[in-house]
Structure 1
Amino acid sequence: MSSLAQEQAASRNVIDITDLHEPILTDIQKQVLAGAEAGADQIVFDPAVILANAQGQTGLTDFGPADFRERLAVWCQAVDEDANASAVARANLFQMMIRLAATRLRIEDIVKRHPEILEIAIERPIIVAGLPRSGTTHLLGLLSADRRFRSLPWWEAIAPVPAPDEEPTSQDANPRWTKAEHGWRAMESILPYMAIMHEFSPDHISEDIELQAVDFSSYLIEWLAHVPRWRDYYLSHDQSGTYAYLRKCLQVLTFLNGPNRWVIKCPQHMEQLPALYRTFPDATFVLTHRDPVGSIRSQLTMYTYAARMLRKSVDIREPLGYWPARYETLLRACVRDRDVLPPEQTIDVYFHDWIRNPDPIVKEIYRIADIPLTDDVLADLHAYLAEHGEQKKGKIVYDLERDFHVTGEDLRRPFDFYFERFPVKVEVR
């Protein structure tokens, strides 16, 4: 392809969301909103209601250790306090909580029937952590292309233990995959640009936050609603128990579908390094770093685009008043605790180095993890990179000044401490 043809193709692939402030709704968006409003009275954020629904779905009763109940109660209260949450957001959160409670019942049931699960060692996992949009998803997907690793595809993340109606049949080899595919296609039809910004296709490698959420913790619901009550509760409580539950979920998944050399990732790990290290002391830790303004800019756009469905009214002051400060909290914890991780088990990956040439970084990760990087494996990884290059589905336009009335320098000012600790290059002016 000529350079002119490449430029023309690139220009056709640019997506500029110009109705962030005053959304122009599609017919399907209007239908979904109307349907959610019609069923709004049936949504009750009461832990007893959520747990009863999960028990009814599964026929199981034992949720295991009861400490999660307090966290579930805080989730419910925090969501109920979000006055601007739309009926769609409330319905999605309600169904998600029931799904997580049902998953917890199935986790506890299979461990009770197979106590040997708790003897499975999660040996030397590779754990990726870094700000959202700092290369973590791309790196995780790349490592997962090495078939010697065990990773967490989305279909399995949202249904780790199959329900009775999710066992393979001659008509459907993987009903859990099929259900995830239906959900993905629905999301694509309702919020097509969200599907580009954050993929949830069945085979997309998921964050392990979905497993932490089975313990009703993590910062997950901060991404789905305005929940400062939960944020404050979560940040003031030791997360060691939830990380132990994450390990338990990995043991169950290993039992069901081995092998046990895992590669996982979650941006939240950046603010939970001590708990992460205590839980997985023999891990290889890969920390990605990038100008936080690049990540915040993307988050602001993603939040505001989704607001047409998840918020009653679109107000840019909501994400501006929450996310920059939330990123600062996360990165201050990272700077404070970075040296908890053993240097011989840890690598810091810088976005500007990664996009220039990932090969030396990949080789160093494999060296630290003590895994041979053969020519065949490297060829597989290169094939993945060729197939999953950045912006394959489209390049989203991020315009801070136009859409949020701030500059990169405005947002960057509180992050001097991060640039002093890590040699991150400024990207966004």
Structure 2
Amino acid sequence: MWADRAVRALWETGLTPKPPVDPEYLWKIGSRGFETEDERSGRDEIEVEDFRERLAKLCVSLSEEARLNALGHTMAYGQLSSAIRTRHALGRVWRETPSLATTEIAPPIIVVGQMRAGTTRMHRLLAADPRHTGTRFCNSHYPVPAKPDLRRFKAGAALAVARQINPWLDTLHPFGATRTDEEIGWLAGALSPATFEAQWRIPSFVGWNEAHGADPVYAEFARILRTDASVMGDAARPRILKCPQFSEDLPALLRQFPDARLVVTHREGRALLDSSVSLVASQMAFQTDYADLVAIEAEWRRKLALRDERIEATLAGFDGPVARIDFDALGANWRREIAQTYDAIGIQLTAEALEAMEAEQALSANSAHLQHRLQIAQFATS
């Protein structure tokens, strides 16, 4: 790939040294320009230690297991140094304005389900209701508030570059700098594996995370949500939250938002696994020269089973409102499924909400995302 060759040429000619994916070096780069207190502002000691431990274990996994090419190495370095920088920047915000992290918010509505199971569609339909609100893509990936707010422009530029590197990007997920999107950027900033395991082979880090627990990650997530709600002026409206990682970490998320309503999506059959493998394979394909489709499929068969088990175990002990949505039923008649969802979670469905949802449906009608089913065949024959 041209981007990988370009990065490797820069290293080989000495124009740019290969940056080490090493915790101490990354910390030095990511914390540059910040105060020592910014690491700890708003966070307890367990959370501080958790982030440091996550960083160390992820770096080991990247170095010993991922077999990254030059582009993959550069992307890993960039993402981890950015996570450290963002963590310090948020700490500085909370040190200067502590009230942002404790903003009172309306109980959220949380969309839970496997990736490729209709979570994005349900998420955006619910967020289209004018009585609700959603997180903008740019706010997810650039959570630090600033004046003037240039995040939409930064996100737009980042998406333009990403589309050049990964031609499959818009078939993976319908992106837009200011469109409602999942909060995966907030999780990545706390070093949850949510975005990393879809790009790199990092089994030791993934296994450690599954056994370790995610309360520190979601404590940070909650502070960012409260800050975002205050800055965006929508704290009084229920935020529609969504990320497939929630299905793995639902108890920790609900400890932060015990009064949440849940919308749980489900998709039967082989199509769910194939679509998940396609997403991961297309992400890995340009970051390593050793992507193994058989290994990816085995891992995501295991991962999907784990997430299903954890969803059902959590729901068995949850006494709040829950709506269950079937992927095929949503595709066949989304209005009926929305009506049933609103009834199950105790919200009146209004004509105004349906009108806004119709507009969202029209926006998605010609999405490149519809071509996603072709990717697995392209990867397998490349």
Q: Common fold, TM-score beyond 0.5? A: yes
Partner Cα distance (1:120, 1:130) in 2: 28
Question: Residue 24 of structure 2: which of 33, 48, 51 is its match?
Answer: 48
Corresponding residue for residue 267 of structure 1: 244
Partner Cα distance (2:287, 2:368) in 1: 27
Contact kept in structure 1, 2:140 and 2:186, CA below 8 Å: yes
Corresponding residue for residue 293 of structure 1: 270
Partner Cα distance (2:315, 2:335) in 1: 24
Percent of residue pairs bearing the same amino acid type: 23
Q: CA deviation at 1:191?
A: 2.0
Secondary structure at the counterpart of residue 133 of structure 2: coil
Secondary structure at the counterpart of residue 226 of structure 2: helix
Mark the CA change 1:401 to 1:374 in structure 2 (over 3 Å): closer, same or farther: closer
Partner Cα distance (1:268, 1:83) in 2: 21
Secondary structure at the counterpart of residue 365 of structure 2: coil
Corresponding residue for residue 231 of structure 2: 256
Q: CA deviation at 1:83?
A: 4.6
Deviations 1:38-79 (A, max 9, x none): 3555221122222221222x5343212422101111111111
Contact kept in structure 2, 1:297 and 1:398, CA below 8 Å: no
Write the letter of the residue equivalent to 1:183. A
Mark the CA change 1:208 to 1:401 in structure 2 (over 3 Å): closer, same or farther: closer
Partner Cα distance (2:245, 2:367) in 1: 24
Write the letter of the residue equivalent to 1:37. R
Q: CA deviation at 1:315?
A: 2.9
- Higher Cα Rg: structure 1 or 2? 1
Contact kept in structure 2, 1:298 and 1:398, CA below 8 Å: no
Partner Cα distance (1:144, 1:46) in 2: 40
- The answer as to 2:185 corresponding to 1:210 is yes
Partner Cα distance (1:315, 1:365) in 2: 39
- The answer as to 2:222 corresponding to 1:239 is no
Secondary structure at the counterpart of residue 349 of structure 1: strand
Corresponding residue for residue 354 of structure 1: 330
Corresponding residue for residue 14 of structure 2: none
Partner Cα distance (1:205, 1:370) in 2: 23
Corresponding residue for residue 35 of structure 1: 6
Secondary structure at the counterpart of residue 84 of structure 1: coil
Partner Cα distance (1:267, 1:306) in 2: 16
Secondary structure at the counterpart of residue 297 of structure 1: helix
Q: CA deviation at 1:314?
A: 4.2
- 1:274-285 equivalence runs, <5 A: 274-285=251-262
Contact kept in structure 2, 1:126 and 1:264, CA below 8 Å: yes
Mark the CA change 1:195 to 1:107 in structure 2 (over 3 Å): closer, same or farther: same
Secondary structure at the counterpart of residue 347 of structure 1: strand
Mark the CA change 1:292 to 1:80 in structure 2 (over 3 Å): closer, same or farther: farther
* Count of matched residue positions in the alignment of Structure 1 and Structure 2: 366
Partner Cα distance (2:377, 2:168) in 1: 20
Partner Cα distance (1:283, 1:42) in 2: 45
Partner Cα distance (2:285, 2:376) in 1: 19
- 1:3-402 equivalence runs, <5 A: 29-30=1-2, 32-39=3-10, 41-56=17-32, 58-61=33-36, 62-64=38-40, 65=43, 66-67=48-49, 68-162=51-145, 167-168=147-148, 174-260=149-235, 261-291=238-268, 293-342=270-319, 344-389=320-365, 391=367, 394-398=370-374
Partner Cα distance (2:84, 2:103) in 1: 24
Contact kept in structure 2, 1:187 and 1:195, CA below 8 Å: no
Q: CA deviation at 1:369?
A: 4.6
Contact kept in structure 2, 1:273 and 1:340, CA below 8 Å: no
Secondary structure at the counterpart of residue 267 of structure 1: coil
Deviations 1:16-41 (A, max 9, x none): xxxxxxxxxxxxx42x1112223555
Contact kept in structure 2, 1:129 and 1:266, CA below 8 Å: yes
Write the letter of the residue equivalent to 2:245. Q
Deviations 1:363-421 (A, max 9, x none): 3433455444321221111121122127556524448799769xxxxxxxxxxxxxxxx
Q: CA deviation at 1:356?
A: 1.4
Mark the CA change 1:83 to 1:129 in structure 2 (over 3 Å): closer, same or farther: closer
Contact kept in structure 2, 1:154 and 1:202, CA below 8 Å: yes
Q: CA deviation at 1:210?
A: 1.7
Contact kept in structure 2, 1:285 and 1:345, CA below 8 Å: yes
Structure 1 unmatched runs, 5+:
1-28, 169-173, 406-429
Mark the CA change 1:401 to 1:153 in structure 2 (over 3 Å): closer, same or farther: closer
Secondary structure at the counterpart of residue 217 of structure 1: coil
Contact kept in structure 2, 1:36 and 1:88, CA below 8 Å: yes
Contact kept in structure 2, 1:150 and 1:258, CA below 8 Å: no
Partner Cα distance (2:158, 2:63) in 1: 25
Contact kept in structure 2, 1:123 and 1:283, CA below 8 Å: no
Write the letter of the residue equivalent to 1:359. R
Partner Cα distance (1:377, 1:219) in 2: 31
Write the letter of the residue equivalent to 1:350. D
Structure 2-normalised TM-score? 0.88
Write the letter of the residue equivalent to 2:363. E
Contact kept in structure 1, 2:108 and 2:257, CA below 8 Å: yes
Mark the CA change 1:276 to 1:340 in structure 2 (over 3 Å): closer, same or farther: farther
Write the letter of the residue equivalent to 2:246. H
